[in-house]
Amino acid sequence: MSAKHAAPDPSRPFWGVAEVAAYYGVTRDTIYAYRTRGLLPPEDDRISGSPVWRPETIIGHKRPGRGYRSDRKRKDDA
């Protein structure tokens, strides 16, 4: 189930998990999974024990799961 959120404000000093999820168009659980697997940049800080990132850190990072799968054969490679 995907929650629809408004685009996060890039002028805010930090984005939490909810803002990062809204930016990537995924759920908060997906962001936690990306973080656990090391697919997100390291958090810039922690606020009340929760990870936060500067907007430019996330904006400058390529979203995990969006790219060419070089490990799979294409039909025309057969």
Residue 8 exposure: Cα atoms within 13 Å on the Cβ side: 23
Whichever domain contains 59, its CATH number is 1.10.1660.10
Q: What percent of the chain has pLDDT over 70?
A: 77
Q: Please report which confidence band the pLDDT of residue 1 belongs to, taking 50, 70 and 90 as the band edges.
A: very low
- For the chain, what is the mean pLDDT? 84
Q: In this structure, is residue 48 part of a structural domain?
A: yes
Range of the structural domain that residue 30 is part of: 10-63
Residue 47 lies in a domain: yes
Q: Residue 31: which residues within 8 A CB-CB, separation 6 or more? A: 17, 20, 21, 24, 40
Number of domains in the chain: 1
